[in-house]
Amino acid sequence: MGSLSLLVFFAQFLIASSLVEFQGNELQHKQAGLHFNIYHGQELHSSFMSKSSFFSDMLAKDEERVKALYSKLAGDVFMSTTPNASEGREKVVGIPLKSGLPIGTGNYYVKVGLGTPVKYYTMVVDTGSSLSWLQCQPCVVSCHPQIDPLFNPSNSKTYKKISCLNPLCSSLKDSTLNDPICETSSKTCVYRASYGDSSYSIGYLSQDTLALSQSQTLPGFVYGCGQENEGLFGRTAGMIGLAHDKLSMLAQLSTKYGYVFSYCLPTSFSASASTSTGGFLSIGNSSLATSSYKFTPMMKDSKNPSLYYLNLATITVAGKPLGVAASSYKVPTIIDSGTVITRLPVSLYTALKEAFVKIMSKKYAQVEGYSILDTCFKGSAKNMLVVPEIQMNFPGGANLLLKANNVLLETEKGITCLAFAGSSDNPIAIIGNFQQQRFNVAYDISNSRIGFAAGGCN
C-alpha cells in the first residue's frame, strides 16, 4: 500500500472515531483562559495498518521537517525540494512559492468553531507555523477530503474578506514567507501558504468570529479562507498556527487572555496505548495555573523569531551525566510540536546512545537500525523493564525526566528503538513531540520562559 492509500485508510478510522470523540463539549472555559481537547490521529492509525510501513513513512517525513528546520536555523529560506510540488504550484500561481515547514504525520489536532452561526472544524496544531487557515467553499481548484463539512463563508454573517490596503495583508510576508497577492478587481488580499512536504493553501485573507467556548468568542479572527488546497492533512479542515508571530492565533488571543499557552500531548504510538488519556491545549495566563511548572528561559533568535528556543544544560542516563564537554550542549535548541523524534548534535547523541546501550545490552540484543533510528533492540517495548531513564536538564531547573514511554519506540513487532537521533551535519537540537508526550509544556511568551511539569494531561 502506498502512503496515499494508507492515509485514506487511516482517515476513515479518524472519521469513525471522531464521531464519538468530538461530540459534546469540545471547548471548555477554564478561568480566564481557553481549553481545547487535543488528539493524535496516529493513535487510531497504528492498529489498522502495517506498523512498519507507517513508521518508515512517519520517520521519513519527520526527517524532512528537521531538514527544513536546519535550513531555517541556518538563516536560509527553506524551499521545497520536491520538484513535482513546485511544478504544481508554479502552474497555479505563476511563481514558485517559498515553503514553510513540512507538516509531517506525527500531528496533533484540535476542534475549533468559526462563523455565525458557529460550525466546528478539526485543525492541525503547529508551533512552527504562523497563519491559521481552513478549506473554504468554493474550492476553486481543489480541496483535500476532510471530516467536517467545508466552511462556507456565505453562510456566516460575520465573515469578511480583508482588503489589500489593510496592514494585516502586508503581515503575510512574515507569516507565510510569500508576498500577498492583491486581487485587482476587488482589491482583496490573497495569501499563499506552502509547506515543505508540497502541501499548500491559497485563498482570501479573511476575518470571522472564532468560537472559543459556549460563551466566549473572538470577533475578527484573522485567518486564511483556502479555495485551493493541496496536501495530506489527514482529513483535517486546516491548521492553527501557534508560532511566535503577529498573525498566529496565539498573538490574536493574547490581548484578551495573555501571551501564554500550554499543552499536554497525549500518548501516540507507544506500546501501551491503553494508558493514553486525553491531552489539552490551553491558551491564556490561566493555563499556567494548572500545574507546578519548572521554568527555563525562552531564548530569542532574530533570524527566526517565530520559533521557540531554549538552552539545554545537561543530559543524564540512569542518573549519570553524559561524559561530554559542557560546550557540547551550547547549540541552538528549539522545542517543536511538529517534529516527532528529538534530534541532538552528533557528539551528544553518540554519548547518549553509548550510555543507553551499555545498560540495555546487558539484557537485550542489539539489532539493525530502523530508518533514522540507529539504536534498536530485540524485544517488545512493553516487556522491557530495565530501561534507563533519560533526563534532559535545562538552565533554571526545568527538566524532562523521560521514562520508557518517552524513550522507546516499537517500530515493528519485537523490535524496539531508542527514539532519539543525531542531527548529522548540523549542530542543533530539537525537542520533539515524542519526548514531550504526557508532560505539561508551557510557553510563557510574556515572561520569556518555557516550563515543564510531569504527570500531565490531567
Ligand X SMILES: *[C@@H]1O[C@H](CO)[C@@H](O)[C@H](O)[C@H]1NC(C)=O
The residues near 319 (Cβ < 8 Å, ≥ 6 apart) are 389, 391
Nearest CB to ligand X, comparing residues 142 and 361: 142
The answer to whether 420 contacts ligand X (rule: CB under 6 A) is: no
Catalytic: 444?
A: no
Nearest CB to ligand X, comparing residues 198 and 426: 198
Smallest gap from residue 345 Cβ to ligand X (A) = 31
Nearest CB to ligand X, comparing residues 277 and 448: 448
The answer to whether 83 contacts ligand X (rule: CB under 6 A) is: yes
Q: Transcribe 276-317 into DSSP letters.
A: ---EEEEESGGGGTTS--EEEEPB--TT-TTSEEE---EEEE
Which segments of 90-143 are extended strands (E)?
Answer: 108-114, 119-126, 133-135
Among 170, 446, 448, 458, binds ligand X (CB under 6 A): 446
Smallest gap from residue 255 Cβ to ligand X (A) = 7
> 3-class DSSP state for residue 47?
coil
Nearest CB to ligand X, comparing residues 258 and 379: 258
Among 2, 20, 25, 84, binds ligand X (CB under 6 A): 84
**Active-site option among 126, 148, 208, 444:** 126
Catalytic: 197?
A: no
Q: Could you tell me the three cell numbers for 75?
A: 538563516
Could you tell me which of 368, 327, 369 has the C-alpha nearest to residue 348? Answer: 327
**Active-site option among 197, 208, 245, 336:** 336
Sign, CA dihedral 372-375-379-383, equals: negative
Q: Where are the alpha helices (DSSP H) in 327-381?
A: 346-360
Q: In the range 283-312, which residues lie near ligand X by CB under 6 A? A: 285
Nearest CB to ligand X, comparing residues 34 and 387: 34
Length in residues, the chain: 458
Smallest gap from residue 83 Cβ to ligand X (A) = 5
Instruction: Judge whether 185 and 202 are in contact, CB under 8 Å.
Output: no
Q: In the range 242-271, which residues lie near ligand X by CB under 6 A? A: 257-258
Instruction: Judge whether 317 and 352 are in contact, CB under 8 Å.
Output: yes
Smallest gap from residue 82 Cβ to ligand X (A) = 6
> What are the catalytic residues?
126, 336
Residues that bind ligand X (CB under 6 A): 83-84, 257-258, 285, 446-447
